């Protein structure tokens, strides 16, 4: 605990936190009133990470800088996520609707009837796809493009062309929302 206080009260730590807060205030939508909250948030994240500090691997200042920069990045990411999804946030598991044998994502802002219609349309398009594209669509529900290419043993660029074909099928069916 003594070491934790030493790091938190360190001149370098105070300086980097002050500089990062100065960068955040004004440019990213934070105000002067947010300074104390930001300082507490950064100090909390530093304290939570101190158990990972190993002086044999890096100097304390390097560790502090890394933790603070990552914390700032996470704060910005969280703030942007809140702006993008103002109020419509929910678990992906809750945003799925059972359709036949598969679960398909649905938009939580749509009415229940609209969600059912979209899920049904999606299932119909998937059923009409050629076998290779249907298999690819099913695979991409759980894997990234790179993972799928590796497992299928084909170049990623080849798989990207197939994804373009798949996208056209969805667009032609009026299902651009799922792309």
Per DSSP, what are the bridge partners of residue 103?
A: 98
Under the banding of pLDDT at 50, 70 and 90, the label for residue 36 is very high
| Choice among 99-108, 147-156, 168-177 with the minimum mean pLDDT | 99-108
In degrees and rounded to multiples of 5, residue 67 shows phi and psi of -65, -45
Under the banding of pLDDT at 50, 70 and 90, the label for residue 96 is very low
What is the CATH class of 96-178?
mainly alpha
* Mean of all residue pLDDT scores within the chain: 78
| 40 has a pLDDT exceeding 90 | yes
Amino acid 4: pLDDT? 61
Query: Where in the chain are the domains?
Result: 2-84, 96-178
Q: Indicate the pTM of the whole model.
A: 0.44
């Amino acid at each position: 605990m003594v070491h934790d206080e030493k790091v938190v009260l360190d001149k370098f730590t105070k300086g980097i936190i002050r500089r990062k807060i100065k960068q955040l205030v004004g440019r990213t939508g934070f105000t002067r009133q947010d300074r104390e909250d930001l300082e507490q948030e950064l100090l909390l994240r530093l304290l939570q990470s101190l158990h990972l500090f190993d002086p044999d691997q890096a100097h304390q200042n390097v560790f502090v800088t890394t933790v603070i920069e990552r914390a700032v990045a996470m704060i910005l990411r969280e703030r942007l996520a809140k702006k993008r999804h103002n109020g419509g946030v929910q678990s992906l598991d809750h945003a799925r609707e059972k359709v036949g044998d598969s679960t398909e994502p649905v938009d939580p802002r749509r009415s229940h009837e609209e969600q059912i219609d979209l899920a049904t349309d999606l299932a119909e398009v998937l059923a009409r796809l050629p076998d290779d594209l249907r298999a690819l669509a099913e695979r991409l529900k759980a894997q990234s493009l790179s993972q799928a290419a590796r497992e299928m043993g084909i170049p990623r660029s080849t798989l990207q062309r197939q994804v373009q074909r798949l996208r056209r099928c969805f667009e032609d069916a009026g299902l651009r929302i799922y792309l």
